[in-house]
A and B are shown apart, each in its own frame.
Chain A
Amino acid sequence: MSDDRVELLQGTLEMLVLKTLALDPMHGWGIAHRIQWMSRDVFLVTQGSLYPALVRMRRRGWLKTSWRVTENGRRARYYELTPAGRRTLTTQHTAWERASAAIDHIMGVRLWVSEGA
């Protein structure tokens, strides 16, 4: 299954985390799995990249944390968006849509030269 996985583009992990947290507060493992699940196993988020990203985002004031008890009775650190985090999500989402549309456009153009080759 790991064969299908794709490296996350630089900088997109933070946006995905923000998106993941847009609905509910969540702990680290939950975030990683939610991203993996929502990407249909294309993106595998390792702790090695997740936790440093969480720390960075906390430092920027996008996230706040609290220790809560999970449904299975474990104490875990939950992350939740701050208003600044929500604003950032919106900004980044907009920027992403423009960028990705542009990339799609470029990638979608048919070039007769290459077809002939």
Chain B
Amino acid sequence: MGLRKPPLREQHASQGASFTEFGGWEMPVEFDSIRTEHAAVRESAGRFDVSHMGEIEVTGPDALALTNRLTTNDVSELDPGDTQYSCITDEEGIILDDTMVFRLPDDGGPHYLFVPNAGHDAEMEDRWIEHRDEWGLDATVRNTTEEWAMFALQGPDAQDIAAEATDGATRDVSRFDATFLDVSGVRCFTSRTGYTGEDGFEFLCPWDDAETVWSALDCQPCGLGSRDTLRLEMGFLLSGEDFHPEEEPRTPYEAGVGWTVDLDTEFVGRDALERVEREGVDERFRGVKLLERGVPRHGYEVVDADGERLGHLTSGTMSPTLGEPIGLGYLSADEAPPGTRVRVLVRGEPKQANVVTPPFIDT
């Protein structure tokens, strides 16, 4: 099966982008260099094509009930135009995906849109439909992933660039709020959200208008390479790397996002998670900072001074902002709390590191 392509695949190629496969999509990984793009987002602004992210629309009288029973957070808290970070778990409380849930600005009923990670859209569409039918709920579920392009504008200058592109309309959008507004005349679903730690916006626009909107967000184009280093510095989870239902099965409590779990709601995995919450976790998602030369990477083991295993890393890089090697992973909750001196096995060589609590930087 061929890779899915974002609408601006060819334009990005003509801008000099190199590409990578991610979640079944062929996406730009780098336009100039990861360092340049990363710095642009931290110091001024960058724009990302994240059209590989999924979109599932849930409408109808039971849209709220269905989404509330399939995500860990309390969707009923959302007013029109609100957004919520959440997890989707299985019966055992294992994270299948993490997602943003949006309650669309009111147009006659509570309508929801959620954004699964790349390659998860069909699975989530099926999951919602199967449970709707099993529970006899009245809701319409539509996978609109290939109707929407999605762009993220991030960085300290994002406010001004967005205001320029929208005749000031984004000035009225508060943090974590969402609304429909025009970008260069194109109606976009716009939220003041992102995944880099910087202020900014995410724009959903019709697939065919992607070029107009992308051009209007005039700043450094950025690829998935810098998106990864930016989210890593913040300690944000990457689906498939930091959790994966088979290869890295984790509950939200282990993954450091226990705050997305509302045990007062009834959802798939609730009872298992109540048990985990009561009994505690063996391993927790932590940061490590290497004190020696080397770069921590996915899969590297973490041990104590005697070589006893403490856990392993799921992500790592040389932080472009700090110039220091940083990693994320799951470490023994009892043996490796923040402040512990540990060793990361870099190709078998034990390198000294400190356990820290992410984020690695202040934004």
To the question of whether A and B form a pair in one complex, the answer is no
Chain B interface residues (CB < 8 Å from chain A):
none
